[in-house]
Structure 1
Amino acid sequence: MRKVDLVYTRVRTEEKLLLEALRRRDCAVNLVQDSGMVLSMDRQRVTEADTVLMRSMSFTRARYLATFLEMKGLRVLNSARTISLCGDKALTSAALAAKGVPMPWSFVAFDEDACLEAIEQKGYPVVTKPVLGSWGRMVARLDSRTAAEGVLSTRFGTGGAQDHVALVQEYVDKPGYDLRVYVIGRAVGGLRRRSEHWITNTARGAVPERYEVPVVHAKLAEAAAEAVGGDMVAVDLLETRGGDIYVNEINHCVEFARSIDETNVPLPDLIAEYVASGAGGARR
C-alpha cells in the first residue's frame, strides 16, 4: 500500500476528488495543511509517507516545502525543480528556450528605460506580465508608447525587487481561444478556453470547451513538460490565426474544477494512477 501525504492550502474540489481517487487505489492518504508544516534543516524523516502530492496554492510554500522534503528523501510530485521553474515565468521561458521548445519571443528587463527602449525596437503590441503570479493577474497588453510608459512606471516604481523584473512577450493574435494540454507522464487530454477578451483564463471568464489533442500538440506539450522536469502539469499553448503553435506557460499545480465536466478527461484518476505507480519525482 502506497502512503501519500497530500499537502494542501484549502481542500478545494480538486483535492476532494484527488483524495477519493487515491483511496480507490488503496493509497493511505494523510491530509497535511501547508501552513502548519515545520521542517528542520536535516535529513531526518518527518512522515511515514513515501510520496508527497504537493497541492499548495502558494508558490513560495510549495517550492520550499518540496525542496526540504526531497532533501529528507521523499518523492515529491511535482518536484522542487519543476515548481521553481513553472512558478517563475521568466525561468519557464529560459527552460523552454534551452530545449528549443517553440514559444513567443520574449525578454526580461530590470530597468524602466531599458525595457521601454527594447519594446520600441521590437514594436507594438506586446504583452507584459509579472514573473510571479497566476490567473491572468497584472497581465497587460501594450499597444503604444504611452501605454508602455504608464504600465512600466507603475511596475518599476512600486513593490519590491521581484516586482522590478519585467517579462515582455510577443503578442500572439489568437483566433478567440487558447489551448491547455494536460500532461500526466504523457499528454492525456486537453481543453480549449474561448473568450472575446484577449486574456483567455477561465478565472477571467473564458468558457472551457473540450478539444481532441492532435499529435503535434501532444508532442509539443510533452516536450515542454520535459523541459521543466514536470510529472503532472498543464501546458498552455497559443495558436496563431495562421496555424503556428507556441508554448505560453506551464502550470505545476493542475487546476481542473472549472473544466472537468466539459473536457471529460478524468484528471483525478489519471493523477492518482500516476502517484500510485511510483513513477516520477525529483530527477537526481
Structure 2
Amino acid sequence: MNYKKGLILVNAFSKLKSAMHQPVRLKDELKVLGIECDIKPCSIETAMIISGSSTSFLKDYDFIIYLDKDKYTSALLEKTGKRLFNSHEAILTCDDKMMTHIALSDKGIKMPDTIPGLLCYNKDASLQEVMKRIEMIEQRLGYPCIIKECYGSLGSGVFRAENRDELLLNMEKVKCKEHLFQKMINSSEGKDARVIVIGGKVACSMKRISDTDFRSNIELGGRAEVFDLPPSFKEISEKVADILKLDYCGIDLLFGESGEPVVCEVNSNAFFGGMESVTGFNVAGAYARHIKEIIYETKVC
C-alpha cells in the first residue's frame, strides 16, 4: 500500500477546549487506521502567492483536514492541489449563514423566511434612513424575529426582537457587520436537533434543549439528549450535505409547527465532543474511515 500522511490544520488563535479536543481525536482515530497525521496551526507560511503562483510549503502531506475557517488559506491550498476535508467551497458557504441559505434556496429545503441585512460602512449612519426596510421586516417576519450576524458560532451574535424598539437596538449592534433577519420558529423555541452527517449519510443525532434561552446551544446553558431521528429529518439532513458537497458537517434543524424539520444552520466544522458524550457514537472514528475511503478510493469496514 502507498502509505498516506495527513495534516490537521487548526486556527492559530483559538483556545477553546472543544477546538483543541477535535484534532486530537481525529489524529488518534486515523492512527488506528494506519494513517499518520500532524496537527499544526495555520500560519502566514502555510500558503501564499509567490511570483504569481499559489505556493504552499506543506510538501509532505497527501491531504489536509481543515479545521480553520481562513478562506484565503483554504483557497490557496486547493489551488496547489491539496485535498481538503471539507473543501474550500463548502467551508466558504457554511461559514456565512446568509450564503448557506442562498445555496439551499430553490432546492425544496424548508428554512425560516430570511431577509439579508443591508451593508453599512458608516458606524454613525442612522437607521431612520432605512425605515422602509424595517417596515418590510415587520410585515414579512413579524415579532418576535431573529437577528443574526452571518459569521459566528456557539450561539454568539444571535438576537431576538419582540418589538420595533428591540429590533432597532439589535440592528444597531450588527449594523456594520454582515447580518440577516429571520422569522422566529416559535414551535422550536429553546430546542433543536443537531445532526452529524459524514460522507453523505447521517451518522448520529441529538436533541438540544434550553429552559432559559431561545437558543439551545449547550455552550449557553442548554442540555442534550439522545434523539431518534425521524425519517424526514434524516432525509433533509442528507440532502443538505449533498447540496453543499460536505464530507462532514453538523446540521441544526428546528421543529416546525407540524413537527417538520426546518434548516436553521449548517456547520462544516461542527464540534463533536458533546455528540460523542451524549450518544456514545464514535464520530471521530467514522470521519476517519470516510477520509481513508476517499484518499485510498476503497471501502473501509
TM-score normalised by structure 1 residue count:
0.89
Q: Which amino acid in structure 1 is aligned with residue 7 of structure 2?
A: D
**Structure 2 residue aligned with 1:263:** 279
Give the paired residue count.
Answer: 270
**Structure 1 residue aligned with 2:221:** 205
Q: Which amino acid in structure 1 is aligned with residue 47 of structure 2?
A: L
Q: Flag the 1:264–1:93 CA change in 2: closer, same or farther, 3 A.
A: same
- Structure 1 position 195, deviation (Å): 0.8
**Structure 2 residue aligned with 1:21:** 29
Q: Do structure 1's residue 167 and structure 2's residue 169 form an aligned pair?
A: no
- Per-residue Cα deviation, 1:40-64 (whole angstroms, up to 9, x for no partner): 32255632211100112xx2x2x22
**Structure 2 residue aligned with 1:181:** 195
| Partner Cα separation in structure 1 for residue 208 and residue 295 of structure 2 | 30
- The sequence identity of aligned pairs, in percent, is 24
Residue number among 243, 251, 254 corresponding to 1:238 in the alignment? 254
Contact 1:43-1:73 at 8 Å conserved across structures: no
Contact 2:90-2:268 at 8 Å conserved across structures: yes
Q: Flag the 1:109–1:55 CA change in 2: closer, same or farther, 3 A.
A: closer
- Per-residue Cα deviation, 1:79-119 (whole angstroms, up to 9, x for no partner): 01011100000000101104231111111131642431222
Contact 1:51-1:76 at 8 Å conserved across structures: yes
Q: Do structure 1's residue 139 and structure 2's residue 158 form an aligned pair?
A: yes
- Structure 1 position 120, deviation (Å): 1.9
Contact 2:147-2:158 at 8 Å conserved across structures: yes
Residue number among 101, 109, 115 corresponding to 1:101 in the alignment? 109
**Structure 1 residue aligned with 2:7:** 5
| Partner Cα separation in structure 1 for residue 96 and residue 155 of structure 2 | 14
- Higher Rg: 2
**Structure 1 residue aligned with 2:123:** none
Residue number among 58, 67, 82 corresponding to 1:55 in the alignment? 67
- Per-residue Cα deviation, 1:147-190 (whole angstroms, up to 9, x for no partner): 1121113322xx4xxx0x33011101116420011110111110
| Partner Cα separation in structure 1 for residue 114 and residue 295 of structure 2 | 34
Q: Which moved more, 1:82-91 or 1:190-199?
A: 190-199
Unaligned ranges ≥5, structure 2: 120-126, 297-301
Q: Which moved more, 1:112-121 or 1:74-83?
A: 112-121
- Structure 1 position 203, deviation (Å): 1.3
TM-score normalised by structure 2 residue count:
0.84
| Partner Cα separation in structure 2 for residue 38 and residue 75 of structure 1 | 15
| Partner Cα separation in structure 2 for residue 8 and residue 224 of structure 1 | 25
Other structure's SS at 1:271 match: helix
| Partner Cα separation in structure 2 for residue 248 and residue 105 of structure 1 | 11
Unaligned ranges ≥5, structure 1: none
Q: Flag the 1:116–1:47 CA change in 2: closer, same or farther, 3 A.
A: same
Contact 2:86-2:248 at 8 Å conserved across structures: yes
| Partner Cα separation in structure 1 for residue 117 and residue 44 of structure 2 | 37
- RMSD over equivalenced CA pairs, Å: 1.9
**Structure 1 residue aligned with 2:91:** 83
| Partner Cα separation in structure 2 for residue 145 and residue 44 of structure 1 | 51
Contact 1:210-1:264 at 8 Å conserved across structures: no
Q: Which amino acid in structure 2 is aligned with residue 194 of structure 1?
A: I
